[in-house]
Structure formats: structure tokens, C-alpha cells
Chains A and B, each alone.
Chain A
């Protein structure tokens, strides 16, 4: 079983819909990152969370440390949000590196 599980693996929605991507992890961590990768593109860090909630524009990320769960929400989705969203956790068993989920491929249709 992967230490970081994302769901869904693929998500297709219509422009304007509210999007939720989930991430669950099975061990204690220091922090969790949400990353975005556009097709054929580089990888950008969207958020780093160690507790609570963060918001940047239409993106909201939350984390519940006790439940070992994080969500990434996109409000008023737009076709330019189409990308792969990757959850990654830092500090598994004290290791100084990220452990990645498999990613969620999001497609927003106009």
C-alpha cells in the first residue's frame, strides 16, 4: 500500500464547478505539499501545509493532521486549471525528502 493515496485518479468536470481532490497518508509527517503539473510542463508548488487551511486565489488547501487527510479545492474551475495535481508529504519517519502520491489528472471542459 502506498504511503500517500490520492483520489480520484482522474476527474473531468465542467467549467465553473467546485472541485475537490483528496489525499490520505498513513504515517506521521512534518508537512504536506500540493503540486501542480500542466501537460508537458514543469512542476509548481501550490501550497505547503503543516496545519489548518491556506487559500490562494481560487485554490484552497486544508489538512487534518489527526485524520491524516488533506484536500485541495478549486472554486469556479476554469479550463486553465486542467493539470495533474500531486500531493506530497515531508518527513515520513524523519526522512528529509518528499514522498509523492500518484497524482490526480483534472480536466475542465468549457
Chain B
């Protein structure tokens, strides 16, 4: 089925461990995004990629890195996880102007202990 696929769905990390969240879309979208969602905070943009080969910081980029591997894939890396990064992470993609086809992945629930 067409859409945005995120892996893993759940993850528990110890403080200081690293991990990469994977995201892939098969809708030929140019733009991809990583968000985190925390209780009472709404969705906050971590990083986005307006097109293959470009990435830009969002509202809360500290502690994260991203890679736009190709047009389909956009990964989010936590180099040294901290309890403050416990959150639900969503990947999303959209068409060239962002106006159409805005599609979210199913989310990754990450707990850092």
C-alpha cells in the first residue's frame, strides 16, 4: 500500500545509546519531515528535507541528525539518547509545494531510561 513506512514502532533505549529511526515513502514526494509529539506540546518539527540532498533544522533539532539517503528515505539518528528524547516520533512526506498529499507514518514510540 502506498504511504509512509516508519520503523521501528516501539523502542526502549538506555541513556547514551544511539539509534536510527527509518522512514520511507513510495509516493514520489519531494519533501519529508521528522516530528516529535509530547503531551501538551503538540507536534514539533525536528528536521525536514524539502528535496533530495537538502536538509534543514526545524524547531527542536538539538540532539538529532538526519540523512536524506535518496528521494524515498529520510532517517533520524539519536547519537546519544537522553531521557528528554522520550517521545512519539512521526515521519511525514508531502508533494513539492507541501499543499497536497501530506501523509504521516504510523509513529515510533521511543522511551529512554
Contacts and interface: CB of A to CB of B under 8 A. Distances in A.
Nearest to B88: A40
Interface string B72-99: 0000000000000000001010000111
A90 B42 contact: no
Interface string B93-107: 000011110111111
Contact of A96 (B42, B50, B90, B100): B50
Contact of B42 (A33, A42, A44, A103): A103
Interface in A40-64: 41-45, 48, 50
B33 A42 contact: no
Interface residues of B, number: 21
Interface residues of A, number: 22
Contacts of B31: 96
A100 B99 CA distance: 14
A86 B107 contact: no
Contacts of B50: 96
Given A86-B43, A102-B42, A97 B98 contact: yes
Interface string B26-55: 000001010000000011110010100000
Contacts of A48: 99-100, 102
B58 interface: yes
Interface of A: 30-31, 33, 35, 41-45, 48, 50, 86, 88, 90-91, 96-98, 100-103
Given A86-B43, A98-B33, 17 more contacts: A30-B97, A42-B106, A43-B104, A43-B107, A48-B100, A48-B102, A86-B42, A91-B98, A96-B31, A96-B48, A96-B98, A97-B33, A97-B45, A97-B48, A98-B45, A98-B98, A101-B42
24 contacts: A33-B102, A41-B106, A42-B90, A42-B104, A43-B43, A43-B90, A43-B92, A43-B104, A48-B99, A48-B102, A86-B43, A88-B43, A90-B99, A96-B31, A96-B50, A96-B97, A96-B98, A97-B33, A97-B45, A97-B58, A97-B98, A98-B102, A101-B42, A102-B42
